[in-house]
Amino acid sequence: MNQNQDQWKTRLGFMLAAMGSAVGLGNIWRFPYVTGELGGATFLIVYLAFVFLIGIPLLLNEFSIGKAGQKDAVGSFQNLAPNTKWHWTGFMGVIGGILILSFYSVVAGWSLFYLYKYLTGAYWSEPDGGYGMVFDEWISNPILPLLWQALFLGVTLFIVIRGVKGGIEKANAFLMPVLAVLMIFMAGYVLTLDGALEGVTFLFQPDWSQLSNPKLYLTALGQSFFSLSIGVSGMLTYASYLKAKDRLPGAAIGVGVMDTVFAVIAGIMIFPAVFSFGLEVNEGPPLVFITLPSIFASMPLGNVVGIIFFVLLTMAALSSAISLLELPVAFFKRTIGMSRKAATYLCTSIIFVLGIASSLGFGIWSGVTIGGQNILGMIDYLTANFVLPFGALLMALFVGWYLNREQAQKNSEIENPLMFNIWYISIKIIVPVVMIIIVIANIFGYTA
Ligand code: PHE
Ligand code: NA
């Protein structure tokens, strides 16, 4: 065993970091708006089915590659499958992680800015022109959002540069418990408001006619991968810092359940509020930046709730951004052989420069669109719906078809033979079949 290798101090530290990676803008910003656009409860049911039948098995699969490979995204595949092309899966993940963080940090920058506006009291009451107008003005400004994005990335860099134990593990040990407490408080408060029931109904009463919409499945699949952080090897990288004695299956289930609970709580927190104020649920990406502030403004104690909400959103984004930065950093550090410091500065700079495009796509570059999506929308759509599923599919094929059954069982650390068989069939057969069907249905669904 390589003594110089980064490692977690405790298993709990790993669990919290993996949960930190999972719980993020995906739960609080992305989940509510895709759910709102695709009919609420029906989407939720398909989403939950995917999380438990495909997502959690794939999370364990990704953990197993990292832990057995003991290296970064590319190096782990090279260790397990020398002289093959499998490490391209990890390489694609590194690129995917960089792309995701480039737009993720734009939205996180908005969140940080809103937190500042709430701390100074500027957004406690509806500003002149309304929240919609100030948001549009803000995101279309060519300079200011970039500064907040840079600030957010600066904080992420500050943590990642301190290493696995001293930076990532410590930060998550603080962020995750605080996040959990704030979230429970918010959900509890919102549920006491008038009209809350309507929102809960939207989230829990299915509209079965949506089940024939192929887009629902692709979006639910992409959302479950995005939310669980699978397919880009960020979770693989985190698992590579585990010691031999740590056990994987419990960690995968714990992270999966926790992430889902956070998404559902975010939904419970947001939809009742949206309904009790008679606003639209299918607002898309601005949902939490336009709809919620107007709700906070007319809600008792709304200023406090607003501050708490944007603290929560920013912290959740940070713990995920840390994992998205550590993924390429680990690659540059171990496979390319750079120092952690140099790798962290390099990756953060690349990500910031790419992120400029996503940010400007709301202003001076708003003419750049494909199918009505701006630059951020396009990168988000492509990474969540194609890069992540494709990466996860390759990892499933790697363990299910390239490694042999004994290796798969040993690496997965599932001791119970029945449980192992269920998991193995899932990643070997069910995952590839389901994913191929969804992609084909969408190709025909769009052209027809
Ligand atoms: N899971 C994170 C979220 O829900 C986003 C993420 C995706 C993080 C992929 C790492 C890798 O916000
Ligand atoms: Na998530």
Which of the four pLDDT bands, split at 50, 70 and 90, describes residue 3?
Answer: very low
Q: Tell which one of 21, 160, 260 to mutate to probe ligand 1, the residue whose CB is within 8 A of the most ligand atoms.
A: 21
Locate the domains of the chain by residue range: 11-447
Closest ligand 1 atom to residue 321 Cα is 8
Q: What is the ipTM of this complex?
A: 0.98
| Distance from the alpha carbon of residue 434 to the mean position of ligand 2, in angstroms | 22
| Distance from the alpha carbon of residue 133 to the mean position of ligand 2, in angstroms | 29
| Distance from the alpha carbon of residue 27 to the mean position of ligand 2, in angstroms | 5
| Distance from the alpha carbon of residue 194 to the mean position of ligand 1, in angstroms | 33
Rounded-to-5 percentages of helix, strand, coil across the chain: 75, 0, 20
Query: What residues have CB less than 8 Å from 87, skipping those under 6 apart?
Result: 74, 75, 77, 78, 81
11-447: CATH topology: Amino acid/polyamine transporter I (1.20.1740)
Smallest-distance ligand from the CA of 256:
2
330 CB near ligand 1 (under 6 Å): no
Smallest-distance ligand from the CA of 25:
1
Contact 253, 181 (CB under 8 A): no
Question: Phi/psi of residue 373, each to 5°?
Answer: -95, 135
274-323 tens-digit pLDDT:
777 777 777 677 778 988 898 889 888 889 999 999 999 999 999 999 99
Pick the most confident of 250-259, 286-295, 379-388.
250-259
157-170 tens-digit pLDDT:
999 999 999 999 99
Q: Tell which one of 323, 379, 387 to mutate to probe ligand 1, the residue whose CB is within 8 A of the most ligand atoms.
A: 323
| Distance from the alpha carbon of residue 277 to the mean position of ligand 1, in angstroms | 30
pTM of the model: 0.94
CA distance 207 to 41: 7
103 CB near ligand 1 (under 6 Å): no
DSSP H or E stretch at residue 434? helix 431-447
Name which residue leads in pLDDT, 34 or 152: 152
319 CB near ligand 1 (under 6 Å): no
Closest ligand 1 atom to residue 29 Cα is 12
24 CB near ligand 1 (under 6 Å): yes
Opening angle at CA 5, ends 1 and 161, nearest 5: 175
29 CB near ligand 1 (under 6 Å): no
Name which residue leads in pLDDT, 102 or 368: 102
| Distance from the alpha carbon of residue 127 to the mean position of ligand 1, in angstroms | 32
